[in-house]
Amino acid sequence: MRKLDAEELQKRRWIRALEIARVLFNDEGYFDDYLCQIEQFIREKATMPGGEMRAERAQAITEAKARAPEQLKLGV
């Protein structure tokens, strides 16, 4: 088994955290669309050189947080 570099290891941690968040969101009745968008972004952009990835990652996270209140389903 090959040793993972730091960036690949970080990517796997993010994906795993999103999987856990998705389970919790679904259990509570919230939409997880923006979690899926974040996961897709991570999978697509994680191979980019460091500086570009950091800037785009920060922008994607900011956009996802801004959309989150609109996408949450309020349970009754």
- pTM of the full structure: 0.55
CA 69, 70, 75, 76: dihedral to nearest 10 degrees?
110
Structure confidence by residue, pLDDT tens digits, 9-58: 888 899 999 999 999 999 999 888 888 888 888 888 766 665 555 667 67
Taking the C-alpha atoms of residue 27 and residue 30, their distance in angstroms, rounded to an integer, is 8
